[in-house]
Structure 1
């Protein structure tokens, strides 16, 4: 089966919404529509009809387009079982270990708490595509609004186990700021320095830095490397448990 066609749709000030299109059936899903208008415009431009809405978590900048899109297209709304009380009108709820069939493409569901307690991530192996919402960013991770460091680190290590060929379609264009922080604690990393330069050029040209490649993120994203002695030392935690190192990295970014 051919891979899904994935279209990045900018929304709000720095959100990314994604259209997933199956050419054979014409089915089209949207991931985390923070607002409806850009989605409607992208659909109209391509002559596509929305059939599904996929949510990763309950924050308004990821679900505020749900109601209008559901009303206009009659789309099926799929989201995290653990946030059923916080995302209105879901038709299907999913959780860790579940799969969801979208037009013959199987989404593997991971519970990835940390940013929110009920956050999920969706992985389409046949398209090498991961939709982690605000759990994982290029060179970063989401703020820890509701979860614990242990939960968040477990979520990130879960996603880190996916194949290096996986593309990360995250919820925001935060990469340039994340790169500056990453360089502040990992400035001798040549791969990171090269990627930071590329990011600078992409943003100067008005280009998105997303998707990023998981194999590369594993070597340059400090939030995925809390069990790396170099990162532990950089945040003053040599020999510490990775959960404590992750917490220190997250606190460092919060205050950067």
Structure 2
């Protein structure tokens, strides 16, 4: 897993603290290096772009080096800052085809009080199984619906690394650092747990969650969550 001191891995978690919905929230967009430039996995809410810029500069990059923004899903804490980002970069925007209407404004976000973030265009609609070349090896799109209709996670088989989005979380207070999606924010919990079971079938040793960041945990813990042993 890349850090500010170790760029060779090609994947960098970018933990930032933002104000979201009147509360302080720590989130983890992720940066992936490719031969073509940078991929940003999730942007964060409105107001997050400057913190992302600061992280990129600490790695020797600028926002303008981002060529692809990949949204794991349309929730405002992931996609709210997209329009702001696109004022600074000429980047391709990709998300699952089930998520695209929520990002573009054709549909209102499933969660929230109707006060949505500014809509943005989606250039590329993804499906599970798509692989994108990166400096960390191929990055595979994995369908993980439940938390959102077209939620996706990203898997790096060469590094046994999973970018879970909100399919898993790592910000709990319990003994286990990794847990399943939060029921209060997950419209289809049964489908979300089926998605966790799908993730358990992958060879995973390390996970980055949007909520909670990097966790040195993998298959055994993910299988336990899928089986309902989430304590």
Q: Counterparts of 1:166-185 in structure 2 under 5 Å? A: 167-173=206-212
Deviation of 1:60 after TM superposition, in Å, equals 0.6
Residue 11 of structure 2: aligned partner: 5
Deviation of 1:8 after TM superposition, in Å, equals 2.7
Residue 195 of structure 2: aligned partner: 155
Deviation of 1:210 after TM superposition, in Å, equals 1.9
**Greater helix share, 1 or 2?**
1
* 1:83–1:168 Cα change, 3 Å: same
Single out whichever of 5-14 and 79-88 deviates more from structure 2: 5-14
CA distance in 1, matches of 2:101, 2:134: 24
Q: Counterparts of 1:1-256 in structure 2 under 5 Å? A: 3-12=9-18, 13-22=25-34, 25=35, 27-34=37-44, 35-48=48-61, 49-88=65-104, 89-102=121-134, 105-138=137-170, 139-144=178-183, 145=185, 147-165=187-205, 167-173=206-212, 210-215=214-219, 217-218=221-222, 222-226=224-228, 231=229
Contact (CA 8 Å) 2:14, 2:55: kept in 1 or not?
A: no
Deviation of 1:112 after TM superposition, in Å, equals 0.9
SS in 2 for 1:114: coil
Where structure 2 has 5 or more consecutive residues not aligned to the other structure, the ranges are: 1-7, 19-24, 105-120, 171-177
Query: Once the two structures are superposed, what CA deviation does each residue of 1:18-71 show, in whole Å capped at 9, x if it has no partner?
Result: 11224xx36112111112111111112323122221110100100122122222
CA distance in 2, matches of 1:45, 1:85: 34
Where structure 1 has 5 or more consecutive residues not aligned to the other structure, the ranges are: 174-208, 232-248
Deviation of 1:105 after TM superposition, in Å, equals 3.9
CA distance in 1, matches of 2:141, 2:60: 29
Contact (CA 8 Å) 2:33, 2:136: kept in 1 or not?
A: no
Contact (CA 8 Å) 1:122, 1:132: kept in 2 or not?
A: yes
With the length of structure 2 as denominator, give the TM-score of the two structures. 0.71
Residue 190 of structure 1: aligned partner: none
- Equivalent pairs counted in the alignment come to 188
SS in 2 for 1:69: helix
SS in 2 for 1:153: helix
CA distance in 2, matches of 1:8, 1:27: 17
Query: Once the two structures are superposed, what CA deviation does each residue of 1:47-98 show, in whole Å capped at 9, x if it has no partner?
Result: 3122221110100100122122222121221111111101131111111233
Between the two structures, name the one with larger relative contact order (CA 8 Å, sep ≥ 6): 2
* 1:5–1:116 Cα change, 3 Å: closer
RMSD: 2.5
